[in-house]
Every structure is written in structure tokens, then in C-alpha cells.
Amino acid sequence: MGLVARAEGAYLGLALGDALGATVEFMTPREIRAAFAAEGGVHREIRGGGWLKLRAGHVTDDTTMALALGEAILADGGAVNATSCARAFDAWMRAKPVDIGNTVRRNLLAFRKTGDPKAPRSEHDAGNGAAMRLLPVALATFGRSEAGVIAAVRAQAHVTHNNPASDAACEFLALTVQDALRGTSLRDIYRGRIQPLLAAHPAFRFRPRRRENPSGWIVETLQAVLQSLLDTDSFEDCLIDVVNRGGDADTTGAIAGMLAGALYGPEALPDRWLRALEPTVGTACRRQARALLVA
């Protein structure tokens, strides 16, 4: 499987996970089982709804911020420039997105006032908002040195989330997606990326307890994503497993979708989900995936 195919798989996987998870965002696993009792207690179709009353196949901030970021990177010829990222997110916020995180809003409003694209360091800004949208950075910096990737990852993340746990997760996710794009197996990703992450940042340890109802705290988000990724062996099973944990399900879905899409490739994406995805979103994801790789 080629690099471009895996990149498309990652970008479409992000959008599919977001669209699938949005239906059950902020529900508990118990509420999901009750709501989907007629379907065996499992949510497994892209159908919109949820607290955002999303139209079927539509996506939320996770995907639309990634697409805004991707356009900014492409406009800069593949460079990840913090001011360009901040301007793109600010324009995205002005366009009245269906949802927006508190940390994102607060730090973008600060950018409007100060013009400084770097949020102040904060122990409290450990949400998953920088991690959920970072795929364009991973694609644009593919093939660069690890130090170069990390610098770009932080420039993007710090526009809204300047926090050590967010940084650790964002760096891990970008480097792991790049490994998956190279065709690295899940087993080797476990040894090469997941074990070192847990050794350096024990807060992310996710065994033995099953992480249900993950919050928007990046630690719980990543715990749920990694459990689902390691406990399944297909794109579809991984996404169904993660979104049925409830909580910040659109974001766990988006991040798991990005990783699993890169790992298993576009052939593994269920046709019925791709058909259900809003066509303009699918087209934008495919176009950006290709363009960012060569930017």
C-alpha cells in the first residue's frame, strides 16, 4: 500500500470518526446501550444527531479545524507558521462553527487582542483540542527530522494549547501517524512509540482499567484511543469500540480514525460510512492529504 493511499486513509478516517462519534458525544456507555437497544446496544452507523443535532454525514470542529489548518499550511508552501495557523483558526471561529472548545475560544480571542499566536503556558489547558486537528502537520512534515516535526507540532498546538500533557500527546500522535504512513505495524508502533510514551509520561498508562466515558482531557482521550487501537484489528472495529465508550466520542473517533486510517489504509474504510460522509468533506480530505504530502 502506498504512502498517498495511507494519507488519504488517515484524513478520511479522521472525518469518519468525527461524524460517527458526534452522534454519541457526551453520552455514557450505558446511555448508548439503551439508545441503540434495537441495534444490539451498539452505535455503528453515521447518521448525525447527537447534542449538536448534526445532519447525517456532517462533521464537527475536529475535522473542520484540521481542514482550516491544512489550507493555511498549503498556502505557506508546506511551512507550519504559528501566525498563519492562528489566523486560519480565527477565520474558522468567525464563520460560526457548529461547536468550539472553551480553550480554543479563549486563546483565539486573546490572539485577536494581542496578535501573539502563542498561548501562555497553562497547567489547565490540557484538553484534546490541539491533538484532534494535527493531522495536516503530520502530513506536511513527513520525511523531516524528528526535531523538525516536533517544532512544527508545537507551533500549531501552542496557538491554543500550551501545555505539557497536550505537547506529549501531540508529538506522539504526529510521529505515530508518520510511522503508520511508512507501513510500520501496530506491534512495532507499540514498541517504538507507545511504550516509550508511557515510560516518559506515566499519566497516559491505560492498563488494566478500561477507559470508559473519556473526557476532553487529553490523557483520558488518548487512553481510550490507544485501548481501542490495541484491542481491535480493523478500522471499523476500532472506531466502533472507541465511540461506544461515549464521552468526547467525536474526538476519540477522530483521533482513532486518523491512526487506524493510516494503519489499515483506505480499503479498510467501510463503504457505507464513506457514502454517508458529506461529499464536500470527503473531497477536501482527499485533496489535502495528497497536497500536504508534497507541500
Q: Which residues bind Mg ion (CB under 5 A)?
A: 60-62, 248, 250-251
Specify the residue, 87 or 133, whose C-beta has the smaller distance to Mg ion: 133
Specify the residue, 61 or 179, whose C-beta has the smaller distance to Mg ion: 61
Specify the residue, 137 or 218, whose C-beta has the smaller distance to Mg ion: 218
Distance between CA atoms of 31 and 111, rounded to whole angstroms? 39
Residue pair 229/260 in contact by the 8 Å Cβ criterion: yes
Q: Give the nearest distance from C-beta 4 to Mg ion in angstroms.
A: 27
Q: Give the nearest distance from C-beta 30 to Mg ion in angstroms.
A: 19
Q: Give the nearest distance from C-beta 115 to Mg ion in angstroms.
A: 27
Specify the residue, 255 or 291, whose C-beta has the smaller distance to Mg ion: 255
Specify the residue, 10 or 224, whose C-beta has the smaller distance to Mg ion: 224
Handedness of CA 162, 165, 166, 171 (dihedral sign): positive
Distance between CA atoms of 33 and 35, rounded to whole angstroms? 6
Whether omega for the bond prior to residue 208 falls within 30 degrees of 0, making it cis, is yes
Q: Give the nearest distance from C-beta 149 to Mg ion in angstroms.
A: 25
Residues linked to residue 217 through DSSP beta bridges, in sequence order:
127
Whether omega for the bond prior to residue 97 falls within 30 degrees of 0, making it cis, is no
Give the DSSP H/E element, type plus range, for residue 125.
none
204: helix, strand or coil: helix
Specify the residue, 83 or 215, whose C-beta has the smaller distance to Mg ion: 215
Specify the residue, 61 or 278, whose C-beta has the smaller distance to Mg ion: 61
Distances (CA, A) of 230 to 225, 233, 269: 9, 8, 18
Report the phi/psi class of residue 262: left, alpha or beta, with left for phi > 0 and alpha for psi in -120 to 50: alpha
Q: Give the nearest distance from C-beta 10 to Mg ion in angstroms.
A: 18
Residue pair 18/250 in contact by the 8 Å Cβ criterion: yes
> Which residue is closest to Mg ion by CB?
60
Distance between CA atoms of 170 and 213, rounded to whole angstroms? 21
Specify the residue, 247 or 265, whose C-beta has the smaller distance to Mg ion: 247
Q: Give the nearest distance from C-beta 251 to Mg ion in angstroms.
A: 4
Closest CA to 269 of 1, 2, 8: 8
In the structure grid, which three cell numbers stand for residue 141, read together? Answer: 512534515
Q: Give the nearest distance from C-beta 153 to Mg ion in angstroms.
A: 20
Q: Give the nearest distance from C-beta 118 to Mg ion in angstroms.
A: 24
Name 9's Cβ contacts closer than 8 Å, sequence gap at least 6.
235, 261, 262, 264, 265, 266, 268, 269
